[in-house]
Amino acid sequence: MNTYLRECSVVFRRQIRMNLRNPAWVLIGIMQPVLYLVLFGPLLKPLVGSFDSGTTNAYTFLVPGLLVQLGMFGAFFAGFSLIGEWREGVVEAERVTPASRSALLVGRLTRDILQLLVQALILVGLGYAMGMRGSMSGVLLGILLTLLVGGACAAASNALALTTKSEDVMAPVINIVMMPILLLSGILLPMTIGAGWLQRTSDFMPFRWIVDGVRDAFVGNLDTSGVMWGTTWALVLFGLAFWWGTSVFRKENA
């Protein structure tokens, strides 16, 4: 176990060192949700009372959605840097060492999750500054769920990167996957204001349950079925994606 943690931390520190050399990425990632917050938030203000979402505060409604969106979008692009590393032989050089295959993934995921945490804190801080109200424990749980979702998406993105090994394939795949997720998760507007068939469809979208869960948590209702389903789905997605990611790093050898 000790060796395993050491291997994870070697991979993690190597990744962080490269990220810090190019901190623009962290800022580019946070730009999108910040723009939504500043430019879309005001549009919600007159509408949010009619949503039946447990809050009349536009930012308490919007920030949870943006958090999950940040977790998904930011992390989905994590795999692109892995393709570059693979092309330069770095992944192969790591795989020829005795280091555990899953440590090669976990070290990278830790970097992605840490980066997401920084972005999430910025977003929540900005939300508070703009008038969001949320319970401290609920916000913490919401961030935790965001990190789980982000970890799942980052693991899936790394797996996809090593499977396709081409930015040209990966970019359209991510786009195709992201659009329905974005539209069916109720990130910007709640699914409950939609037609019946649209609501039924969104029931099949795990991310919708996570968004609802984070929203309930922010409002301070920690014992709702929304929080339970959101947490369950976040854990399930993380487990599946982690398994996929590890198996890809293990592939092509015993």
Partner 1 sequence: MIHARGLVQTFHTGKGKNRKAVQAVNGVDLDVEEGEVVGFLGPNGAGKTTTLRMLTTLLTPTAGTATVAGYDVVTQSVQVRRSIGYVSQVGSTFSGAYAGDEVVDHGMLYGMRRPAAIARGHELFEQLQLDGLWKRMPKNMSGGQKRRLDIAMGLIHDPTLVFLDEPTTGLDPQARANLWEHIEGLRSRKGATVFLTTHYLDEADVLADRIIIIDKGDIVASDTSDNLKAQVSGDLVDLEVAGDNQVAIARDKLASISDSVEVEGHHVRGRVARAGRVVPGLLRDLDAAGVSLDSIEVARPTLDDVFLTLTGRSLRDAEADATPEGPADPGDPPYDEAGPDSGTTSPALEGADR
Examine residue 5 and tell whether it contacts partner 1 (CB under 8 A): no
The site for partner 1, by CB under 8 A, has a size of: 36
Examine residue 10 and tell whether it contacts partner 1 (CB under 8 A): yes
Of the candidate residues 62, 99, 105, 113, the single one contacting partner 1 (CB under 8 A)? 99
Helix boundaries (H) for the chain: 2-21, 24-35, 41-44, 58-76, 79-87, 90-95, 101-129, 136-164, 167-184, 196-203, 206-219, 225-250
Residue 104-133 contact track with partner 1, rule CB under 8 A, x = bound: ------------------------------
Of the candidate residues 38, 47, 90, 235, the single one contacting partner 1 (CB under 8 A)? 90
Examine residue 7 and tell whether it contacts partner 1 (CB under 8 A): yes
Q: What angle do CA 102, 105, 109 make, to 5 degrees?
A: 130
Distance CA 184, CA 207 (A): 8
| 214 in Cβ contact with 143 (< 8 Å) | no
To partner 1, the closest distance from the beta carbon of 109 in angstroms equals 17
Examine residue 86 and tell whether it contacts partner 1 (CB under 8 A): yes
Binding residues among 140-179 for partner 1 as defined by CB under 8 A: 163-169
Distance CA 151, CA 149 (A): 5
Examine residue 252 and tell whether it contacts partner 1 (CB under 8 A): yes
